[in-house]
Amino acid sequence: MIKTKVIGRVFRQDEIADQIYDMWIETELAQGARPGQFVCVYTKNAAALLPRPISICEVNEEKTMLRLVYRTVGTGTNEFAAYHAGTEISLLGPLGNGFPVEKAAGKRVFLIGGGIGIPPMLQLSKEIKKAGQAYCELSVLGYRNELFLNTDLEKYSQVYVATEDGSAGTKGTVLDAIKEKGLSGDVIFACGPMPMLRAVKEYAAANNMEAYISLEEHMACGVGACLGCVCKTKNVDAHSHVHNSRICTDGPVYNAEEVEI
């Protein structure tokens, strides 16, 4: 089947925290989207060539809309932040492999999100709850200070919060929160900044837990052709037979044991 770049339409957009935007887009891409996948979003600025890879935060019940929650960091995201309801938006996707939801079956599940890595946890949490197979589901969310998406996640799982400045929940990191609250689990799904993912990988290994982590890297094509977004892997990768896996197509979610971060 020939895949296509599509034009979606912004349904609504709100700034939900400082520089954090929450955009619902009407698009047929919602139909096949799985938690942990991402879409490439293209700017209208001809001088800003490359697509911006943004993770899928949520899919509506009717599977007619995608929700993207992103932070403004530069030319592209600043442009997207100015879009209003009705604005056309160019998308490619859904790309990458999502989180292995089936690994939650019968397990005590930890969802760990840090900062702008929190958004993909929402659809994941929803689907784990819907599958109804997890023994219990906890979300641990780390922020600098201002909270976002925590009340959304509370609908599906028990939520614990950590903030760097201590303004809400545990003062410190997600791991500080896990320790303070005496939380434990069998399997981790995580997305967040690299220092957090490293700590999660170490924590999982020390506690004999499985961990699936979602990585990011600067991308150009998003479809596995340019070899821009690789990560170091323990084993030889299937594409280039070296130790560099393509995050866009082989990831972005990996078993933490398999990647060297």
Partner 1 sequence: MNTKVTIAGVEFKNPVMTASGTFGSGMEYSDFVDLNKLGAVVTKGVANVPWPGNPTPRVAETYGGMLNAIGLQNPGIDVFIERDLSFLKNYDTKVIVNVCGKSVEDYIEVVEKLGDQDNVAMLEINVSCPNVKEGAIAFGQKADALMHITSEIKKKAKQPVIMKLSPNVTDITEMAKAAEAAGADAISLINTITGMKIDINRRKFALANKTGGLSGPAIKPVAVRMVYQAANAVKIPIIGMGGIASAEDALEFIMAGATAVSVGAMNFVNPYTTVETIEGIEAFMKKNQVEDINSLIGCVK
Convert residues 42-81 into a mask of x (bound to partner 1 by CB under 8 A) and - (unbound): x---xxxxxx-----------------------x------
Q: Is 6 in the site for partner 1 (CB under 8 A)?
A: no
Q: Is 258 in the site for partner 1 (CB under 8 A)?
A: no
Q: Which is nearer to partner 1, 146 or 217 (CB)?
A: 217
Q: Report, in Å, the least distance between residue 194 CB and partner 1.
A: 11
Convert residues 86-125 into a mask of x (bound to partner 1 by CB under 8 A) and - (unbound): ------x---------------------------------
Q: Is 206 in the site for partner 1 (CB under 8 A)?
A: no
Q: Is 235 in the site for partner 1 (CB under 8 A)?
A: no
Q: Which is nearer to partner 1, 50 or 147 (CB)?
A: 50
Task: Output the six-digit token pair for 157.
Answer: 């799982």
- Cα–Cα distance between 245 and 249 in angstroms, integer? 9
Q: Using CB under 8 A, pick the residue from 184, 240, 257, 260 that binds partner 1.
A: 240
Q: Is 221 in the site for partner 1 (CB under 8 A)?
A: yes
Q: Is 2 in the site for partner 1 (CB under 8 A)?
A: yes
Binding site for partner 1 (CB under 8 A): 1-5, 42, 46-51, 75, 92, 217-231, 239-244, 249
